[in-house]
Structure 1
Amino acid sequence: MTIFNMKVGESGTVREVGGDPRLAKRLRALGCVKGTEVKVKLVAPLGDPILISFRGFDLAIRKTDAKNIHLNV
């Protein structure tokens, strides 16, 4: 499952971050690494962006990027 497939209020732990290497590196630098708990807080009306919460802060990501963050639910 990916963050893109989750509904508001659902959470899971990061299994892997794929896709664009620059984005993956940036997310890892922010602490979005394997085992981190992530929660979907808000999805914009048209589905883009998605607001996620992890390690005590909120981050808005594009839905195309959310499809590359794989989770264990």
Structure 2
Amino acid sequence: MKLAELNVGQSATIRSLQQLDSSTRKKLMVMGLLPNTAVTLVRKAPMGDPLQVRVRDVSVAIRKSTAAQISIEVA
């Protein structure tokens, strides 16, 4: 499953960021989005993009196209 497919309020664990290009992957990892890290979808913007996710008590806005490349496992 991909991060972009989560419903609002749903939590999951990040499994892989390998589909992202290296610069985007590094930026997200610096913000705390690492493999085996829990994330929760807080909300979606009115048009569905960007997504607000909470990871390690920090809110991060991610484009839907980027979230569609992040593999997750729903708990």
TM-score (norm 2): 0.91
In structure 1, C-alpha distance between the alignment counterparts of 2:38 and 2:72, rounded to whole Å: 9
Identical aligned residues as a percent: 34
Q: Are 1:49 and 2:50 an aligned pair?
A: yes
Q: Are 1:10 and 2:10 an aligned pair?
A: yes
In structure 2, C-alpha distance between the alignment counterparts of 1:14 and 1:51, rounded to whole Å: 15
In structure 2, C-alpha distance between the alignment counterparts of 1:69 and 1:38, rounded to whole Å: 11
What are the ranges of 5 or more consecutive residues in structure 1 without an aligned counterpart? none
Output one character per residue of 1:11-48: Cα deviation in whole Å (capped at 9) or x when no partner: 10000113221111111122211110000000011110
Letter paired with 2:6: M
Q: What is the count of residue pairs matched by the alignment?
A: 73
Q: CA RMSD in A?
A: 0.9
Runs ≥4 in structure 1, deviation > 2 angstroms? Answer: none
Letter paired with 2:52: L
Superposed, 1:1-73 pairs within 5 Å as: 1-17=1-17, 18-73=19-74
Q: Match of 1:8, SS?
A: coil
